[in-house]
Amino acid sequence: MGTVNAMNILIIGLGSIGVRHLINFHALRPDAKFFALRQTASEPIKSHPGFDQAIPNYQTITSLQQAKTVNPSLVVIANPSSLHAQTALFF
């Protein structure tokens, strides 16, 4: 079996749906690097109401332009639905 390249996974929006995707993708690809696009560069969240498990480590990004520089292999759009199309078109 060949070597699998490390993935950069970007989660846009870190509400309950974004957190769920972060946890699930971490379970599937613990070797991936995780990034979260958030409105502010606050400390990474460690827990979220409704989730028993700890939230995996991620790097916070605060702009779409910065998000593009991490060259994401996969982008999860979990921001408000009114912004989905605009966000998807950026990538």
Q: So what's the pLDDT on residue 1?
A: 47
Q: What is the pLDDT of residue 85?
A: 94
Residue 3 is predicted with a pLDDT of 52
Q: d(Cα 90, Cα 22) in Å, to the nearest integer?
A: 21
**Segment of 1-15, 42-56, 66-80 carrying the highest mean pLDDT:** 66-80
Task: Calculate mean pLDDT across residues 52-60.
Answer: 87
Residues 6+ apart with CB under 8 A from 87: 12, 64, 77, 79
* Residue, of 40 and 61, whose pLDDT is higher: 61
pLDDT at 75: 96
Give me the mean pLDDT over the 22-41 stretch: 91
Q: Identify the CA nearest to 22 among candidates 2, 8, 36.
A: 36
Mean pLDDT of the 36-41 span: 83
Residue 90 has pLDDT above 70, yes or no: yes
Element (H, E) at 23: helix 16-28
Q: Are 10 and 37 in contact (CB under 8 A)?
A: yes
